[in-house]
Amino acid sequence: MSAAVIDGKAFAERLRERVAEAVPAFASRAGRKPGLAVVLVGDDPASRVYVRSKGKATLAAGMASFEHCLAEATGQAELVDLVQSLNRDDRVDGILVQLPLPRHIDDKAVIGVIDPAKDVDGFHVENAGRLAVGEEALVPCTPLGCIMLLKDRLGDLSGLEAVVVGRSNIVGKPMAQLLIRENCTVTTAHSRTRDLPAVVRRGDIVVAAAGRAEMIKGDWLKPGATVIDVGINRIAGKLVGDVDFESAAATAGAITPVPGGVGPMTIAVLLRNTLTAAHARAGLPAPEGL
Ligand code: NDP
């Protein structure tokens, strides 16, 4: 192995500390803590774990946490009513509706009701559109976390070839937009891409977000490439990424591990987005260095 391992866990811990340090200044100016509301519908065990850890992290950062756990049978109208009441609640700066929602609920319709100023997941079309046209936006947490790791590792990303594997609205597309914003030359690959290994080999930066266990091999990579593995796949009870870590680490210059790479960044950026949304809602300038 020659690649440096990018320690997302340590970076995320530092980001959480910086957020926590900025909370008292906000609270003294705004007269209240920043608040994050998380809404869970149903009993999906993985979602329950995520919601619990988001709540804990919110409290640990000194923010107010509002958890709403609704029964699987909750109707769309009831969920929309709850989101609208959170929109009106001045203590709430961020609203996160945990996905996936039960099949009888249209997640686009629910996300569309969230006040874009409180859309800390950045999934509302208004925030997606703002990101696409280069305006201030709340940006999805996972890709924003990836950009933070890349800039920490590489500094200025201008002119680098970046290949994003995956084009979902949650990861791939916002990732590509953020890389364009950083002046990279960006290729977005997906399941219809021809000769994926040749496309991936162009990348000085490769972001893997396909949800395909260990698909990207070391001999697909340009030597020295920086590899960000977003994938979370469970094989025989073990978590693996979309990149075959062992072979990739022999070719890459730097690589994120799974677990301990991108995963911990997501919650840290969620807290950062909540703090940013709180400042914007209170008419205060964005907190520095976040
Ligand atoms: P989606 O399933 O929504 O999207 C997967 C994307 O990968 C699609 O665009 C799909 O192409 C593309 N794809 C699938 N198979 C291939 C293939 N063989 N070759 C090339 N492209 C392919 O997944 P998400 O974007 O939501 O998530 C991606 C991964 O990231 C998952 O493993 C998920 O668990 C993980 N994840 C991790 C997070 C974290 O916090 N670390 C947060 C969010 C996600 P097409 O559009 O043509 O179907």
pLDDT 10s per residue in the chain (290 long)?
Answer: 789 999 999 999 999 999 999 999 999 999 999 999 999 999 999 999 999 999 999 999 999 999 999 999 999 999 999 999 999 999 999 999 999 999 999 999 999 999 999 999 999 999 999 999 999 999 999 999 999 999 999 999 999 999 999 999 999 999 999 999 999 999 999 999 999 999 999 999 999 999 999 999 999 999 999 999 999 999 999 999 999 999 999 999 999 999 999 999 999 999 999 999 999 999 999 998 89
Domain 30-121 belongs in CATH node 3.40.50.280: no
Structure token pair of residue 206: 């490769």
Q: Which residues is 161 bridged to in the sheet?
A: 185
Whether residue 9 lies in the annotated active site:
no
Q: How remote is the CA of residue 11 from the centroid of ligand 1, in Å? A: 23
Report pLDDT for 289: 87
**One of 33, 93, 119, 121 is an active-site residue; which one?**
121
Q: Give the integer Cα–Cα distance in Å for 72 and 102.
A: 7
Is 238 one of the catalytic residues? no
> Tell me: the pLDDT tens digits for 64-106?
999 999 999 999 999 999 999 999 999 999 999 999 999 999 9
Decide the pairing of beta strands 238-240 and 233-235. Answer: antiparallel
Look at ligand 1, atom 30, and give the residue with the nearest C-alpha. Answer: 231
Q: Could you state, in order of their start, the residue ranges of all structural domains in the chain?
A: 30-121, 141-263
Pair type for strands 94-97 and 64-70:
unpaired
pLDDT of res. 1: 73
Angle between helices 141-154 and 8-30 (to 10 degrees): 110
Using alpha carbons, list the distances in angstroms from residue 246 to 12, 77, 269.
Answer: 24, 48, 28
Q: What's the length of the chain?
A: 290
CB 209 within 8 A of CB 230: yes
Please check whether the two domains, 30-121 and 141-263, share a CATH topology.
yes
| CATH for the stretch 141-263 | 3.40.50.720
List, for residues 180-215, the tens digit of each pLDDT value: 999 999 999 999 999 999 999 999 999 999 999 999
Instruction: Kindly name the residue from 98, 118, 173, 222 that is annotated as catalytic.
Output: 98
Q: Which of 194, 232, 235 to mutate to test the pocket of ligand 1 (most atoms within 8 A of CB)?
A: 232
Alpha carbon distances (Å) from 277 to 36, 138, 172, 281: 10, 8, 23, 6
Residues β-bridged to residue 239: 234
